[in-house]
Every structure is written in C-alpha cells, then in structure tokens.
Structure 1
Amino acid sequence: MSASPPPQHVRAAFGAKDSVPEPVGTGPQWRCDDIALRPVTNPAEASWVAQTLTDLSVPDLRIGRPLRSSDGRFVVGGWVAFRYVSGRPEPRYDEVIAASLRLHKATADVPVPRFVATRADVFAMADRAAAGLEEAPLNPALGGRLFDVLSGTRKPLGLRPQVVHGDLFGTVLFDGEAAPGIVDFTAFNRPREWAAAVVVVDALAWGGADDGLPKRWAHLPEWPQVMLHALLFRLAVHALHPHSTEQSMRGLERAARQITAL
C-alpha cells in the first residue's frame, strides 16, 4: 500500500478536498467517501485504463468508473480516482471466470494499446516467453526447469487475440449478492480464454481451489492448450520475479499436476 495518503492538492483536483482518506484492503487504494484514489507508475497506461473503463458496459459487473480532475485529466500528481466499489476478493472462482468472459466479450473490439508491445516488465517478458516469442532468463529452481519441461508440449493457439485483463485473481471484488466488481485493468493481447485460464492457474496454485475447477471450464475452445499457455506464463513470471519463493513454487507445482492431467 502507498505509505502516504493522496496529498490534499490531488484530493482537491478530484473533488475530495475535505474528505479524510482511509486505506482500503491490502492494495494501494485510499477511500475518500464515495471516491477512491490509487497511485500509478505509468501515466500513459493509467490514462488508457481510465478511458477504457469509462467506455465499458458489461452486464452483471460493477465497474469503478474513473473520474476526471477539475481540469479534465485522469491522472494528477501520479494518482487516479474512481467511484468506490465495495467488496473484497473471495474464493468464488467460477464467478470470477464467468465475470472474466463477460468482461472480455465487451472488450473484443477494443484496440490494443501501443504500450502492450513495448512493455519490458517481468509480466511482459513472461508473456512473450510463454507464447514462444522470445527467451527469458528463467531461474531453474523457481519455475524455469518446469517451464522447459512443459514448453515442449506447447502448440500455437488458433484463438483470436484481443485486449484482456490478465490479472483478475485476487482483484475481483464481492459484496454479498451484488455483482462482481473491478477497479483496474491489466492489459494483455491474448485470447479471452487465456485470461480465464490464468484465473484457474492462480486459484489452483494459491487460492485453494478444488481440483474440479479446470474441468468445469473444459468446454471453452482449445482448453488444454490454453491452460498450458496460462501455466507457462505463471511459471515464467515466477522464475523472473525477484520476490518469488520456494513455498509459492509448490503451489505452481500443484497447479501443474492438475493441468497436465487434462
């Protein structure tokens, strides 16, 4: 979480000058009455996310609608603002996957932003490695060895790539019987089935999901290969990320056993 709340000039720009910021959850988010603010590191990407979420209409999905500042900007002083969405992540993974498919039906024709192809962070490197587009320096003990073994069975996907949110695990908010909620969008250029499969991999590895989760979505096109691509992505992220541990690797090994059984 951001160690400091949004400064007064940022709050004032988004119409929350007199509100007392309260930290929300475990992420870098601060609530000011019905407005939430979050720090960002890439203003261009944050502006794209804000514009995309502003224009989206998704059935049965609560979206934290971004707010413009008093002078029309989405980003002020390294912060973005949006309407507060109540709830917290819960292990309702089938609902997360269903929400993912609804979301990506709505983003099917959204143009892929330029920054997706030029990103050089760990997740972008892992994405390209998992797709077989380039090699990456993967730590053998933290996922690289298993990546090498499983990549031998990888085949190109015949599914249409599009703009998808590639980090829905742990970010979809639930509040009782209300529709699921999202407040951010981590863009990738991959098939919508891939985004669903990443949720499955994460849920199996670190969310305590039951073994039947991948089988319940096996009706999706090219599912065994999509699951493999998603697993290779997470293995590559794990093998590249500086905060990965042997304990978190055991979760991915469990996910790999379930997925290879497909």
Structure 2
Amino acid sequence: MSTAPQDGPPPGGVLGAFGAPAGPVPLSGGQRTVWRAGDVVLKRLDVSLEELGWQEEVLTAVDGAPDVRVAPPVRSRDGELVVAGWTAWRFEPGTAPTPDGYPDVVAAGRVLHRHLAHLPRPALLDRRDHPWARADRIAWGEAAAGAVGDLPHVGALLAARDAVDAAAQVVHGDLTDNVHLHPDLPPLVLDLTGYWRPPAYASAVVVADAVVFRGADLALVDRVGEEEGPQFPQLLLRALLFRALTDQLLAPGTEWARWFGPAVSRVLTLT
C-alpha cells in the first residue's frame, strides 16, 4: 500500500530519534518519499500500525537467512516503530533489476515464501480496505466487481476465470519493485506486502507487472509458466485483474486497455 508523495526529508528530530545522521538523501525511485541517512532508510508510515508490527515480527524471524536478505524496521531510541509519522528500516545494498532480470525476482520470491510457509493467516487481512485489498478480493471472486467489471479487458478476464486448486499461505504480493539484486549477496526483498494466496500467484504478479509496466518481453509468461505449472495461466489472469482493478479503483474512469491489451490477449489464449 502506498500514499501520495510527501515533500521534504525527515526532520532532525525524527533522524535523532532513530539514531540516523543528519543530511538524508532521497533514494532513487522513491519520488522523494524514501530517504537514506547512514545505515537507516526512512519513509512515511503507509500501512496500519497493526500491519507494521506484523511486518516487524515476520521480517525479524527471516532476518539472517542464508539465501535471502530482508530489512526489518528499526525502532527508535524510545522503542517506537513510528516517530512523527515516519518509519525507519535497515539499509541493505542492492539494485533494482533490469527488464531481463525479472526471473531473478521470481526466484527470490520463491525463496522468501519457503521461509513464510509456516505462518498462520494474519487476521489483519480482513480489516484492510484500501484499493489494493479490494482489487485482490475481486480478482479472486471474494467480492463483486461492480461497475469496473464492465471495462473490456476486465470483463474478458472475469469471464475466463476458472477455479484454482492450490494451497494458500502468506505471500509477498508486491515483489516487482521490491527485490534488489547484488553480485555478491543473496537477493534483498523489501516492503513485505502480505496476502494469503498461493506462492505462484506472487510470481504471476511479477510477470504481470513486468510485461505491462516494465517493458519485459511476453516470453517471460512462458518461461515462468513452465516453472510454476499448469495452473499458472489462471494465476496470471488473476494477477492482471488485480493490477487492472487497482488502477480503476485508484483512478475511476481511466482506461488502461492500451497497457494491458497484449498481456490480456496472451493470458486469454493460454486459458
């Protein structure tokens, strides 16, 4: 979940509370909403306090794994997770993938999900009501589409939706821009956005994002589909629905068919 861009760096009092040095610099891709100060990354609180606490618990348990890196939140000197609306996270090195690097993003997600497989379903998922949560429920048939279901590409995907027989677990539902790679270190997974879905669905969201928004070739659909198995087309269909519905809920009346058209055509062929 994200918020509207906030101007300005974290103030000195926030930096001091988290033990961060002065002179924070904006991180690339953060629209000047994410700032680094020494070994600390600071950003505005963009989830509920309940969800932030859950992220801390989960990420702390995974931290130190030999095959994947995470960056748990940093508490203030007074033991708080939030100071004046700001949160802090440990800085870890890495760079975002190039358009041909999304197979590595998918692979990193699989590793992370092996570490999350034992977790119970968090009750906080039932209390989330932002556009991403509503779009997820519609994509999986747990809520009605309403007027957005009349859009051509959305209606076609809804009509092609079929049952999926795959076990759900806690997954990171927004891996695409939140996996950073390093030549000498395990992949870094940031900003845990929890959903209760099959792990291969998280891979499908990466593929949908990559081919619709990030310039990846449609061959990525076939490559990841071969790795994930015969249910992948239905998972990719839901991933495309999830992104298309979220866009419509965030910007009603906007038509995204030009972006989604090629990927929708491909998945309809597969299904």
- Report the TM-score when normalising by structure 2: 0.87
Alignment match, 1:209: 216
CA separation in 2, counterparts of 1:7 and 1:244? Answer: 38
Q: How far has the Cα of 1:204 moved from its partner?
A: 0.9
1:8 matches 2:12: yes
Q: Percent identity?
A: 36
Whether the aligned pair in 2 keeps the contact of 1:85 and 1:181 (CA below 8 Å) is yes
CA RMSD of aligned residues (A): 2.1
1:171-190 pair list within 5 angstroms = 171-190=178-197
| Residue in structure 2 matched with residue 51 of structure 1 by the alignment | 57
1:198 Cα deviation from its structure 2 partner: 0.6
Which range moves more in the overlay, 190-199 or 150-159? 150-159
Q: 1:47 to 1:203 in 2, by over 3 A?
A: same
For 2:37, give the aligned amino acid.
Answer: C
Q: Hey, what does 1:25 align to over in structure 2?
A: 28
1:69 aligns with 2:76: yes
**Retained in 1: the 8 A contact 2:81–2:88?**
yes
Instruction: Give the partner amino acid of 1:130.
Output: A
1:261 corresponds in structure 2 to 269
Q: Distance in 2 between matches of 1:225 and 1:209?
A: 20
Q: Which residue of 2 aligns with 1:39?
A: 44
Tell me the residue number matched to 2:87: 80
**Amino acid corresponding to residue 107 of structure 1 in structure 2:** L
- Partner in structure 2 of residue 168 of structure 1: 175
Q: Do 2:40 and 2:90's aligned partners in 1 also have CA atoms closer than 8 Å?
A: yes
Which residue pairs with 1:191 in the alignment?
198
CA 1:64–1:244: 2 relative to 1, 3 Å: farther
Amino acid at match of 1:56: V
| Contact kept in structure 1, 2:180 and 2:187, CA below 8 Å | yes
SS of match in other structure, 2:145: coil
User: In the aligned structure 2, how far is the partner of 1:244 from the partner of 1:204?
Assistant: 23
Q: Among residues 111, 130, 137, which one is paired with 1:128 in the alignment?
A: 137
SS at match of 1:167: coil
Shift of 1:128: 0.8
Q: Does 1:147 align with 2:147?
A: no
Per the TM alignment, residue 77 of structure 1 is displaced from its structure 2 partner at its CA by: 2.2
Find 2:123's aligned residue among 114, 120, 140: 114
Deviation at 1:208, TM superposition (A): 1.2
Contact 1:125 1:136 in 2 (8 A): no
Per the TM alignment, residue 174 of structure 1 is displaced from its structure 2 partner at its CA by 2.7
Task: Identify unmatched segments of 5+ residues in structure 2.
Answer: none
Give the TM-score of the pair, scaled to structure 1: 0.90
Specify the SS of the correspondent of 1:204. Answer: helix
1:44-70 deviation digits (Å, cap 9, x = unpaired):
222221222111144432212321221
- Distance apart, 1:138 and its partner CA: 4.1
Aligned-residue offset at 1:245:
4.7
Q: Which runs of 5+ in 1 are unaligned?
A: none
Aligned residue in 2 for 1:249:
257
Partners of 1:14 and 1:83 lie apart in 2 by: 11
Q: State how far apart, in whole Å, the 1-side matches of 2:254 and 2:176 are.
A: 19
Q: Post-superposition shift, 1:185?
A: 0.8
Residues 117, 140 of structure 1: CA spacing in aligned structure 2 closer, same or farther, 3 A cutoff? closer
Q: Per-residue deviation at 1:189?
A: 1.1
Aligned partners of 1:154 and 1:105: how far apart in 2?
27
Once the two structures are overlaid, the 10-residue window that deviates more, 161-170 or 234-243, is 234-243
From 104, 116, 120, give the equivalent of 1:95.
Answer: 104
